[in-house]
Amino acid sequence: MNITLKRITKTYGDVAAAADVSLEIRDGETFFLLGPSGCGKTTLLRIVAGFCAPDSGVVLFDGVDVTARPPHERRTGMVFQNYALWPHMTVEANVAFGLTVPGRQPPAEERRRRVREALCKVRLVDQAERTPTQLSGGQQQRVALARALVINPDCLLLDEPLSNLDAKLRLDMRIEIRRLVKELGITTLYVTHDQKEALSMADRCAVLNGGRVEQVGVPRALYERPVNRFTADFLGGANLIPGSVTAVRDGRLTVNTGFGVWECAAFAKPFAVGARVTLSVRPESLVLTPGSGTPGFPAVIRDVLYLGETAEYRLTAANGTELKALEMNPRWTADARPADVRFSVDPTAVVALPADSNSHDGKTAGS
Ligand code: ADP
Ligand code: MG
C-alpha cells in the first residue's frame, strides 16, 4: 500500500507540530521520519494511524482519502515508543489484544492461529506463555511488533522502537526489523531521532525540523548531498565553513574561505561569482598530515576525543576557524599529537550550500 500525505498541518497552541507536510511513501518501502526531539515525528505517525486529526491536509492510502476514518478502519499496525504491553498478561494475550476491534473479536480458533503466525514472524513462539516482565527488552520489543502484525496490516508504523534498548541490542534489532519488514514486503513508516538508525535501515528518509520537511532522499544522498545547513549538521555533524565564490569553472566552484581558497565540486544549485556560500565538509573527509611543510591548510590540534575505532580531532585553522576531523584507526592521542598539522579535502567531498540556508526554503527554523 502507498501512503500519501498532502499538505498536512497540525498546531498545538502556537507550536507547529506539522507545517504543510507533503510526503509520498511507496508500496513496500521502508520510509523514515528523522529529526530531533519535538520536531513532529510522533504527530505525523499518529495522523497516519488516525489517532490524531490534522487541522488541514489529507491522508491517502492507495489514493483513497482516509483522513476521516477511525484508527481501527485503517488497517495500520502501530508499535509505540514505550511498547504499551500489559505486563501481567501472557505474550499470547498481549498479541491477541491487537485483534480486538470495537464490537468485533475473531473466533477463538482463528485468534489462536493468527497469534501463532504473528509470533512466528518475530521468532517468539516459545515465549507465548510468558509475561512481558519475564522477557528481555529485545523480546518485549518483538511482542509489540507481533501485536502490530497480528491483523496483517497494510502498513507498519514504528515510533522510536529501539530507543529503550541498550546499544548492542539496538544494532542487532536494526538488522532484525529490516529483515522482517522486507520479508513481509510491508510498507513501513519508521520514526527515529537516531541518524545512524535511519541511514542503516531506510530505503528513503525525510528529515524533519520544526514540523517541516527539510529534505527527502535515499540515505546516501542525504548524507553526501545535503541541501541545507540543518540536514548537513543533523546527519553526521558537518563542518560548516563560510566563504564566497570567486570562480565557476568546469562544474567546480572556487571558494574563498577565511583560511584559504577551496575547490568544491558538489552543489545542489548553481552559484554565481560573488555568491556567499556555506561549505559543508564531513569530519571524516578532512585528511591530516603532520608537520608544516606538506600541502593543505595549516592548523593546530586543540583537542583529541578518543572514541575507540575513531578519534575526533578538534582543529583550529589559521584564521581561528574551528573544525572537526574524524580518523579511523587514530594515529594520535591528546598526550601524543603533533604540534602542527595540515588538512586537505577532496573537492568532491565539499558541498556548497546557500549561505543563509539554515533550513527549509532558506528560512531559519521556528524552533
Ligand atoms: P517528536 O515525536 O518529533 O518528538 P511530537 O510530534 O511528539 O515530536 O511533538 C511535536 C511538537 O508538538 C512538540 O513541540 C510537542 O510538545 C507538541 N505536541 C505534541 N503533542 C501535543 C499535544 N497533545 N498537546 C500539546 N502539544 C503537543
Ligand atoms: Mg516522538
- Domains in the chain (CATH in brackets) are 3-224 (3.40.50.300), 230-357 (2.40.50.140)
- Contact assessment for residue 53 and residue 209, using Cβ atoms and an 8 Å cutoff: no
**43 Cα nearest atom in ligand 1:** 6
Question: For the chain, what is the mean pLDDT?
Answer: 92
pLDDT value for 359? 61
CB atoms inside a 10 Å sphere around CB 173: 21
If you compute the radius of gyration of the chain from its CA atoms, what whole number of angstroms results? Answer: 24
Burial class of residue 306 (count of CB atoms within 10 Å of its CB; 0-12, 13-18, 19+): exposed
pLDDT value for 211? 97
**18 Cα nearest atom in ligand 1:** 10
CA distance 214 to 19: 11
pLDDT value for 120? 92
Strands of 30-34's sheet, edge to edge? 76-79, 155-159, 187-192, 30-34, 204-209, 212-217
Q: Is 133 in the pocket of ligand 1 (CB under 6 A)?
A: no
Give 81 Cα–ligand 1 centroid separation in angstroms: 14
Distance of CA 335 to the CA centre of its chain: 36
pLDDT value for 143? 94
- The bound ligand whose nearest atom lies closest to the alpha carbon of 163 is 2
Q: Is 106 in the pocket of ligand 1 (CB under 6 A)?
A: no
CA distance 314 to 302: 5
Q: Is 148 in the pocket of ligand 1 (CB under 6 A)?
A: no
The DSSP string of 259-291 is TEEEEE-EESS---TT-EEEEEE-GGG-EEEES
Q: Is 5 in the pocket of ligand 1 (CB under 6 A)?
A: no
Half-sphere exposure of 262 (CA within 13 A, CB side): 29
CA distance 321 to 318: 7
CA distance 146 to 327: 41
For a mutational test of ligand 1's pocket, the pick from 5, 21, 42, 82, i.e. the residue with the most ligand atoms closer than 8 A to its C-beta, is 42
pLDDT value for 321? 93
CA distance 193 to 316: 30
The rounded average pLDDT for each run of 10 residues, N- to C-terminus, in the chain (367 residues) is 98 96 98 97 98 98 97 93 89 90 79 93 92 92 93 95 88 93 97 96 98 97 93 92 93 91 83 93 95 85 93 94 95 88 93 78 38
Closest C-alpha among 116, 53, 43, 124 to residue 81 = 43
Half-sphere exposure of 296 (CA within 13 A, CB side): 20
For a mutational test of ligand 1's pocket, the pick from 34, 43, 157, i.e. the residue with the most ligand atoms closer than 8 A to its C-beta, is 43
